[in-house]
């Protein structure tokens, strides 16, 4: 979602930089509209997504209201309509210090030719404008505040261009404002609606979700989000305060999902509040855009959606959290996915566990799979044949995944275009950047699940697929009781795509290598050998991700992170990390011995 916002922001920046060109075309009478089918809701959601970080940085409420009689789709110029709204919303945010900015769309009239006149308004609670400012605000190179000490920048062309564009859409533009009482900029456009059956929005019942609770302290956002949830066919009970929410939850058990706004709190605190409600229902946190203090992972049963909330994203989020109920479903059944065509896929990894899992999943999808245990093998295979896709481990002995990819790219021109996807157990932000800059096209984080694999392959090869419905983490957690064992057997089977035999085989591989892992880690640490220690911890980290060994996984993750940040093995955090990893390994070996003793008995 952040990447999507970055892309839209880049487009917005290009639009701003093109203001001068647009103004020149308008003055020359050469600017033409490109009228095609567009979704009004999509245009507004995109504009708000771009503007959200700036608004939330000033703690401004950002909301949209599309009234029910407004057509879903119309014939119009999507880019130019977006440009007008972006100009108006951007100005509103610039000149509003506290309060809110809201977009509203309503149907004003329909003429005999079925041409709809739509009215858009952008209302803020900012400083407002004087009558003198009213008279010149739509003039070129004019700004409400033209002093040398003005706080808001810009070209002064935005409103002048917006006025010309609105007039080309056979509409009008104006504003209602008083100094100190906020402003409402409005404009109308005339357009033909799209009335085909397939574009009309008809909400269908969301499986497993009928009643949601909404906590949102800001009134406009509460109304907007509630309205969007209701338009999805959901019953909504809204709360302005956490006390009101708590009282309701204590006395009612008639809801399926909690929508919990971050409000003015830090996201970490909102997550802690969300955890307290998990025994009653899953929680969808409505988070502020631009928040850099987010946790690396979220507890099972908690998901995040960025504000301002878009209806389509809200629908997808709720469906993902509540629709995959496990009633009548055997979670041990392997997931099935069917691709349209058979691909030749190369998997490169020095860890046998990782190779085995990916190979098994892909073979079940009827794909052709070749496995390479190191970079040299991979390069040799690529000289022999052309693969459609390569899944490449990053950290390998001799030559790593980055160097292997570089050499493969240089084999011939075809391999310059073959998608290479990095597969890594753990990567710091700077390492992820290095991965993508090294010639790899994308990366997946271990443990790779079926859905992630299917989505990635489909995206990079264009090979469409019928993806399986996998049980979600939160639904698994409702069935599986807390597990005090160092191995979560149920989760191991899930990580093995539901294949019990494969799960047992991967666990056996992990356990079989533990004595050597323990010896290497202890000797490397004792002899102050940083690289061998990091390599072994990284390999072990990747292996236990697929075998659901939570305590060993956590210990390896922490130690690997510390080792990547520090070359000094005598640092207190490194010493502690090595102790934790060795303790977790010994715990697993003790567990294995006890299981073997039980089997003999």
Q: What is the DSSP letter of 193?
A: B
Torsion angles phi and psi, residue 399, rounded to 5: -125, 135
- Homologous superfamily (CATH) of 338-479 is Response regulator (3.40.50.2300)
Alpha helices in 95-169 (DSSP H): 131-136, 158-168
Query: Between 497 and 325, whose confidence is greater?
Result: 497
- Residue 332's pLDDT is 30
Structure tokens belonging to residue 410: 């240089």
- Residue 466's pLDDT is 53
Sign, CA torsion 19/21/27/31? negative
CA-nearest of 294, 102, 275, 79 to 185 is 102
Q: Answer whether 2-198 and 489-600 agree in fold.
A: no
What b/e string do you get for 379-409 counting C-beta neighbours within 10 Å, with b at 16 or more? bebbeeeebbbbbbbbbbeebbbbebbeebb
- Residue 201's pLDDT is 64
User: How many CB atoms within 10 Å of residue 46?
Assistant: 21
Structurally, at CATH architecture level, domain 203-322 sits in: 3-Layer(aba) Sandwich (3.40)
Sign, CA torsion 313/316/320/321? positive
Q: How far apart are the first and last CA of the chain?
A: 54
User: Which range, 141-150, 194-203, 274-283, 367-376, has the best average confidence (pLDDT)?
Assistant: 367-376
Alpha helices in 29-122 (DSSP H): 40-57, 78-94
Strands (E) located in 360-483: 368-372, 389-393, 420-424, 442-445, 465-466
Sign, CA torsion 198/199/201/205? positive
- Residue 380's pLDDT is 93
pTM of model > 0.75 = no
User: Which range, 27-41, 234-248, 315-329, has the best average confidence (pLDDT)?
Assistant: 234-248
- Residue 465's pLDDT is 57
Spell out the SS3 assignment of 541-561.
HHHHHCCCCHHHHHHHHHHHH
Query: Between 271 and 290, whose confidence is greater?
Result: 271
Q: Kindly give the interhelix angle for 550-565 and 530-545, rounded to the nearest 10 degrees.
A: 150
Q: What is the pLDDT of residues 124-179, one digit of tens each?
A: 998 888 777 766 777 754 455 544 334 444 556 778 888 989 998 999 999 888 78
Torsion angles phi and psi, residue 226, rounded to 5: -60, -40
Q: What is the pLDDT of residues 346-402, one digit of tens each?
A: 999 988 878 888 888 888 888 899 999 999 999 999 999 999 999 999 888 888 899
Listed in sequence order, the residues at least 6 apart from 249 whose beta carbon sits closer than 8 Å to its beta carbon are 213, 277, 280
The yes-or-no verdict on residue 324 having pLDDT over 50 is no
Torsion angles phi and psi, residue 252, rounded to 5: -135, 150
Listed by start position, the domains of the chain span 2-198, 203-322, 338-479, 489-600
- Residue 468's pLDDT is 47
Torsion angles phi and psi, residue 250, rounded to 5: -65, -25
For residues 286-291, average pLDDT: 77
Confidence label for 104 from pLDDT (cuts 50, 70 and 90): very high
Torsion angles phi and psi, residue 168, rounded to 5: -70, -25
Taking the CA of residue 271 as centre, how many other CA atoms within 13 Å lie in the half-sphere pointing to its CB?
17
CATH of domain 489-600: 1.20.120
Structurally, at CATH architecture level, domain 2-198 sits in: 2-Layer Sandwich (3.30)
- Residue 484's pLDDT is 53
Any idea which of 60-69, 388-397, 537-546, 554-563 has the lowest mean pLDDT? 537-546
CA separation for the pair 423, 421 (Å, rounded): 6
Structure tokens belonging to residue 16: 């701003």
Angle at 394 between CA 390 and CA 399, to 5 degrees: 95
């Amino acid at each position: 979602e952040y990447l999507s916002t970055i892309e839209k922001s880049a487009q917005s920046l290009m639009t701003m930089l093109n203001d001068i060109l647009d103004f020149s075309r308008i003055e020359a009478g050469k600017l033409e509209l490109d009228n095609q089918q567009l979704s009004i809701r999509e245009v507004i959601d995109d504009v708000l997504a771009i503007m959200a970080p700036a608004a939330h940085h000033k703690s401004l409420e950002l909301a949209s209201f599309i009234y029910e009689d407004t057509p879903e789709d119309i014939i119009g110029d999507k880019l130019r309509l977006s440009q007008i709204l972006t100009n108006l919303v951007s100005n509103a945010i610039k000149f509003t210090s506290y309060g809110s900015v809201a977009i509203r769309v309503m149907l004003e009239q329909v003429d005999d030719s079925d041409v709809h006149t739509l009215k858009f308004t952008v209302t803020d609670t900012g400083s407002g404008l004087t009558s003198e400012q009213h008279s010149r605000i739509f003039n070129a190179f004019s700004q409400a505040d033209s002093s040398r000490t003005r706080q808001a920048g810009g070209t002064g062309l935005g409103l002048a261009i917006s006025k010309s564009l609105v007039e080309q859409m056979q509409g009008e533009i104006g504003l209602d404002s008083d100094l100190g009482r906020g402003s409402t900029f409005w404009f109308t456009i005339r357009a033909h609606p799209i009335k085909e059956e397939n574009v009309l929005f008809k909400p269908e019942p969301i499986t497993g979700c009928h009643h949601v609770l909404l906590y949102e302290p800001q009134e406009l956002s509460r109304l907007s989000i509630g309205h969007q949830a209701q338009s999805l066919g959901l019953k909504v009970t809204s709360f302005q305060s956490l006390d009101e929410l708590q009282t309701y939850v204590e006395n009612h058990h008639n809801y399926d999902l909690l929508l919990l706004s971050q409000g003015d709190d830090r996201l970490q605190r909102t997550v802690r509040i969300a955890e307290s409600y998990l025994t009653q229902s899953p929680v969808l946190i409505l988070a502020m855009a631009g928040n850099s203090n987010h946790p690396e992972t979220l507890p099972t049963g908690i998901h995040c959606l960025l504000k301002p909330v878009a209806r389509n994203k809200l629908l997808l989020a709720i469906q993902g959290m509540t629709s995959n109920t496990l009633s009548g479903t055997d979670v041990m059944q392997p997931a099935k996915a069917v691709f349209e065509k058979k691909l030749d896929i190369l998997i490169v990894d020095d860890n046998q566990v990782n190779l085995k899992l990916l190979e098994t999943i892909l073979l079940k999808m009827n794909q052709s799979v070749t496995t390479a245990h190191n970079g040299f093998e991979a390069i040799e295979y690529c000289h022999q044949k052309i693969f459609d896709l390569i899944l490449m481990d990053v950290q390998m002995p001799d030559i790593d995944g980055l160097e292997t990819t570089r050499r493969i790219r240089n084999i011939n021109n075809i391999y310059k275009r073959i998608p290479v996807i990095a597969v890594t157990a753990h990567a710091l932000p700077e390492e992820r950047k290095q991965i993508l800059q090294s010639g790899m096209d994308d990366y997946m984080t271990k443990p790779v699940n079926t859905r992630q694999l299917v989505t990635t392959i489909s995206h990079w090869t264009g090979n469409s697929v019928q993806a399986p419905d996998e049980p979600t983490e939160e639904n698994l957690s409702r069935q599986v009781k807390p597990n005090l064992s160092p191995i979560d057997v149920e989760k191991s089977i899930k990580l093995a795509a539901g294949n019990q035999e494969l799960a047992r085989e991967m666990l056996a591989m992990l356990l079989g290598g533990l004595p050597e892992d323990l010896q290497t880690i202890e000797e490397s640490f004792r002899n102050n050998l940083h690289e061998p220690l990091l390599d072994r911890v990284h390999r072990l980290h990747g292996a236990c991700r697929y075998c659901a060994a939570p305590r060993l996984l956590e210990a390896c993750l922490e130690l690997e992170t510390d080792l990547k940040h520090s070359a000094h093995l005598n640092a207190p955090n490194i010493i502690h990390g090595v102790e934790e990893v060795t303790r977790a390994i010994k715990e697993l070996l003790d567990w294995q011995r006890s299981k073997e003793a039980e089997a003999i008995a």
